[in-house]
Amino acid sequence: MKQLILFISFFITMLMAAQEKHLKNLTRLTNGGDNAEAYFSPDGKSVSFQSNNKNWGLHCDQIFKMDLKDAAKDSLYKPKLISTGKGRTTCSYIMPNGKDVLYASTHLAGDSCPPTVEIKGKYLWAVYHSFDIFVSDKKGKVIKQLTNAEGYDAEATISPKGDKIVFTSIRSGDLELWTMDIDGKNQKQITTGLGYDGGAFFSSDGKRLVFRSSRPKTEKEIKEYKELLSKNLVAPTNMEIYTCNVDGSDLKQVTNLGKANWAPFFHPNGKKIIFSTNHHSKKGYDFQLFMINDDGTGLEQITNESIFNAFPMFSSDGKKLIFSSNRKNHGTRDTNLFIAEWVD
């Protein structure tokens, strides 16, 4: 019986690997806690990411910088803490110099983690007004504050050209996309439609953006969105993928799948977008990576193992994909970082 169980387990593992045909030599990089939003440095040798790993003495998300070679060799490798260790952090990105790290943090409002807000029966994200965007050096020292407007400023990423940053801000009254120069100057609003516009990334040529948006349409949806936003909350259960030019022009809706479609990222060829979605799920919480052409055609499923796969990012040469997944977590709720060779 034991041999039969081992054979069945091996067969299922091989079947899963065959179905995830675009992922080769999949390697787990972290070991415990929730690890997410890992994004490559310009040279592809390291990543920044956020983690709440309790084994590292964390109470809520903090930012780390990981050397990929060291992480692949040592399962107990602990990366360098880049954030202050105070407040809550999110959405880091390595600066063009490959050393400094951009991220959002609430630490100016207090050392402790901001409280988690819950409303029974709803899955919600908190939009903390104490989030601002900072740059830290490799030793974890904050060297610059890029935003100081009233309200939420976070979700910042950097153009591959190294000249611009895109981020989400509520300073105009709604959660819109903004851009600024790499030094924080020339901050400009580029989206205007009612709804949560966030999680934006640049195309490899730096000319376009891809992002998620809620865009409520019915009177009921609009009312609920505004009521939640007044409480610094959003319900991320109905989002689609959009693209636009860096100045906000040529806005296009790419997906029309229903449910939650989010965490999009351009393939380096600029013609395809990889993203996380639960549109196919019967129970709601089953997020897999899919890929789609930027004109909305050619939808293809990329992952099918475990029930959470998100935050995909390609290396600049398109040879590697890093993402978060709760696979191989030994029955825990841990979400770890995984890296794989990408096979077209």
Distances in whole angstroms, Cα of residue 168 to Cα of each of 40, 199, 316, 323:
20, 8, 23, 22
pLDDT of residue 331: 86
pLDDT digits (tens, 9 = 90+) for 208-238: 999 999 999 999 999 999 999 999 999 999 9
Selection from 119, 14, 18, 23 nearest residue 325 by Cα: 23
AA letter at 40: F
Q: What is the pLDDT of residue 76?
A: 79
Write the burial class of residue 75 (CB in 10 Å: 0-12 exposed, 13-18 middle, 19+ buried).
exposed
4 has pLDDT over 50: no
Q: Reply yes or no on whether the pLDDT at 12 is more than 60.
A: no
Give the span between the Cα atoms of 175 and 292, in whole angstroms: 25
CA distance 164 to 64: 22
**For position 1, what pLDDT does the model report?**
47
Nearest by Cα to 85 from 34, 131, 129, 51: 51
CA–CA gap between residue 273 and residue 267 (Å, rounded): 6
Q: pLDDT digits over 246-299, tens only?
A: 999 999 999 999 999 999 999 999 999 999 999 999 876 899 999 999 999 999
Residue with structure tokens 């675009």? 22
Would you say 135 and 110 are in contact if contact means Cβ atoms under 8 Å apart?
no
Would you say 40 and 65 are in contact if contact means Cβ atoms under 8 Å apart? no
User: Of 148, 140, 183, which is closest to residue 169 (Cα–Cα)?
Assistant: 148
Name the nearest CA neighbour of 156 among 173, 179, 175: 179
Quote the pLDDT of residue 268: 97
181: left (phi over 0), alpha (psi -120 to 50) or beta: beta
Residue labelled with tokens 């966030």: 198
- Give pLDDT, residue 13: 45
- 272, 266 Cβ separation under 8 angstroms: yes
Q: What is the DSSP letter of 139?
A: T
| Half-sphere exposure at residue 61, Cβ-oriented, CA atoms within 13 angstroms | 23
How many residues does this entry show for the chain? Answer: 344
d(CA 190, CA 206): 15
Residue 216 and residue 236 in contact, taking contact as beta carbons nearer than 8 Å:
no
CATH of 25-342, one of 1.25.40.340, 1.25.60.10, 2.120.10.30, 3.40.190.10: 2.120.10.30
Q: What is the mean pLDDT of residues 143-150?
A: 97
Q: What predicted TM-score, i.e. pTM, was given to this entire model?
A: 0.93
pLDDT band of 18, cuts 50, 70, 90:
low
How many CB atoms lie under 10 A from the CB of residue 266?
23
Percent of the chain with pLDDT over 90: 87
Pairing of strands 46-51, 35-40: antiparallel
Determine the average pLDDT of the residues in 125-144.
96
Q: 63-110: per-residue pLDDT in tens?
A: 999 999 988 877 778 999 999 999 999 999 999 999 999 999 999 999
Higher pLDDT, residue 295 or 18: 295
Residue 201 has pLDDT above 70, yes or no: yes
